[in-house]
Structure 1
Amino acid sequence: MHRIMSGPYHLNTYVLVCEDTCQCLIIDPGGRAEDLAQYLNSRGLTPALVLLTHGHADQFFVCESFKMIWNIPYCLHRADDEFFRDPDVRTAIRNAVGLPPPHPADRPLDHGDQLRFGNQTASFIHTPGHTPGSSCILWKNRLFTGDTLFVGEAGRTDLPGGDLNTMISSIRDRILPLPPQTLIFPGHHHPGTAESTNLEREMAENIYITDFILDP
């Protein structure tokens, strides 16, 4: 597994690798698409697909360019994909940021879908709250949480499509039941925090979990 941090929001891009085939799964590509392609080429890695944990601008703009370089499918939960198909939303994005909105996902995903790269498989876990389609990816004992769960905190719910109660339910019902030693890799690195954590530590120290879920 490789982790690449980029941009003013310290976006974490994760590259999950099948060692037998050198195929890889890209989670939340960031930075410049050309730099990411060079990073993969220099290591002999071939991306099989790109996955966005949710449909915010820091995720999808690089995804579009990266997809053009490699001509591979990109995946996103169905709820966020449908949001971007709305003509009014697409016009608003273009007007707000001056860039074309993303194309519809090549493969809209649902909770429980399996993502194959080489002879490896990762599981797609729908965890709405930050956005309606926010999701996590479970691979081996590693959970890539996007903007759902961070080290010591959780994702924002005050943006369009966010909902605090839905976020609480997602963490309680779909993250906390995982084994305590599950490693947590968040979608952004917040200065002053660790790059990763584990579920046991978050259940003991994450105020969001201890105050809102374990002891509401």
Structure 2
Amino acid sequence: MKIEKILEPSFGENMYILVDEETKKCAVVDPGGAEDKILNYIKNNGLTLEYILLTHGHGDHIGAVKSIREKTGAKVVAHTDEKELLNDNRKNLSCMMPHCGPQELDADIYVNDKEKLTLGNLKLSFIHTPGHTKGGMCIRVNDDMFTGDTLFAGSIGRTDFIGGSYKELEKSLKKLSKYENDVKIHPGHGPSSTLGIEKTSNPYMSR
């Protein structure tokens, strides 16, 4: 398994390409932009893009979704509770993001908490973590977890947007705190970390 991180320059959003090196199948997580970089990486490494995985539906995380889906035939995966946000460019804030323009879309596959999906030989597990948005979710594969804007290194995502709730985010952080310390987190912004580090040093998780 390999994880390639690509930075979207306009909003500093982290995008990831998750690769099953045995089958050459891959998924892209939260493609907010930099479409050419993503597609070139996939092409240059002889990969097949199966899924576009969305931790949530804000514009800085979905800006390149429709174009990549059209060019590759990959299936878009999101949480069931994120449908409303994905379908409204005002609610997902993309109407205010000139780098991508207004974005409205539907996922091809809507998932719920604890559901799983196979990517080559990899097993993806979906963890519903509302708070930043209603349908925010984390995605775990082996000992790695994509946390979107739920959990950052040393911080958390905002809760003052449409569908946000600090109380819900607190519950989501408690849910994440039950996972093993050595799980490496890959957030939507900023550097990676581990759950163990965040449990002890992140003030929002150590309360």
Q: Same fold (TM over 0.5)?
A: yes
Q: Which ranges in structure 1 are unaligned for 5 or more consecutive residues?
A: 190-194, 212-216
CA distance in 2, matches of 1:156, 1:149: 10
Contact 1:51 1:75 in 2 (8 A): yes
2:172 aligned with 1:176, yes or no? no
Off by >4 Å, runs of 4+ in structure 1:
90-98
Alpha-carbon spacing, 1:185–1:71, altered in 2? closer, same or farther (3 Å): same
Select the residue among 184, 189, 196 that pairs with 2:192: 196
Of stretches 112-121 and 176-185 in structure 1, the one that deviates more from structure 2 is 112-121
Of stretches 201-210 and 146-155 in structure 1, the one that deviates more from structure 2 is 201-210
Kindly tell me the number of residue pairs found equivalent between the two proteins: 202
Task: Say which SS state the counterpart of residue 157 (structure 1) adopts.
Answer: coil
RMSD: 1.8
Of stretches 156-165 and 74-83 in structure 1, the one that deviates more from structure 2 is 74-83
Quote how far apart the aligned CAs of 1:90 are.
4.9
Deviation string 1:45-66 (CA, Å, 9 cap, x unpaired) is 1111101100100111211111
Higher radius of gyration, 1 or 2: 1
Q: TM-score, normalised by structure 1?
A: 0.87
Select the residue among 76, 79, 90 that pairs with 1:77: 79
Quote how far apart the aligned CAs of 1:31 are.
2.7
CA distance in 2, matches of 1:140, 1:128: 22
CA distance in 2, matches of 1:159, 1:54: 12
Task: Say which SS state the counterpart of residue 204 (structure 2) adopts.
Answer: helix
Identity of aligned residues (%): 34
Quote how far apart the aligned CAs of 1:34 are.
2.5
Contact 2:33 2:60 in 1 (8 A): no
Amino acid at match of 2:193: T
Task: Say which SS state the counterpart of residue 177 (structure 1) adopts.
Answer: coil
Quote how far apart the aligned CAs of 1:30 are.
3.2
Contact 2:77 2:111 in 1 (8 A): yes
Contact 1:3 1:12 in 2 (8 A): yes
Structure 1 residue aligned with 2:205: 209
Structure 1 residue aligned with 2:70: 68
Q: Which ranges in structure 2 are unaligned for 5 or more consecutive residues?
A: none
